[in-house]
Chains A and B, each alone.
Chain A
Amino acid sequence: MNTKKVILSAVLTAFALVAFVIESAMPPVVPIYGVKIGLANVFTLFALYALGKRSATAVLLIRVSLAAVFAGQAVSLFYSLTGGVLSLLLMISLKRFFPVKRLWALSVLSAVMHNIGQLTAAVILTSTPQILFYFPILVVSGIIAGAVTGLCAQLVLLRLKHIYDKNF
Chain B
Amino acid sequence: MKNRGWIIVFASALIICAVWWLCITAFSSPAKTVGIYQNGELIEKIDLTTVTGEREIELSGEYGRNIVYISNGSIKMKSADCPDKICVKHGELESSGSPIVCLPNKVIIKFEDASEKIDAKAGAAG
Chain A residues at the B interface, C-beta cutoff of 8 Å: 28, 31-33, 71-73, 75-76, 79, 101-102, 104-105, 108, 122, 125-128, 130-131, 133-134, 136-137, 139-140, 143-144, 147
Q: Does B86 contact A (CB under 8 A)?
A: yes
- Chain A residue numbers with a CB within 8 Å of B20 are 136
Q: Given A126-B106, A130-B99, A130-B108, verify A143-B39 contact (CB < 8 Å).
A: no
- Chain B residue numbers with a CB within 8 Å of A128 are 37, 40, 106, 108
Interface members, chain B 92-115 (any A CB < 8 Å): 98-99, 101, 103-104, 106, 108, 110
**SS class of chain B's interface: helix, strand, loop or mixed?**
mixed
Q: How far is the CA of A36 from the CA of B74 in the complex (A)?
A: 28
- Chain B residue numbers with a CB within 8 Å of A79 are 103
Q: With both chains docked as a complex, state the minimum distance between the C-beta of A150 and any C-beta of chain B, in angstroms.
A: 10
Q: Given A105-B3, A126-B108, A143-B10, verify A31-B89 contact (CB < 8 Å).
A: yes
From A79, A125, A128, A139, residue with most partner B Cβ within 10 Å: A128
Interface size of B as a range: 20 to 34
Q: Given A28-B89, A33-B103, A128-B37, verify A134-B10 contact (CB < 8 Å).
A: no
Q: With both chains docked as a complex, state the minimum distance between the C-beta of A34 and any C-beta of chain B, in angstroms.
A: 10
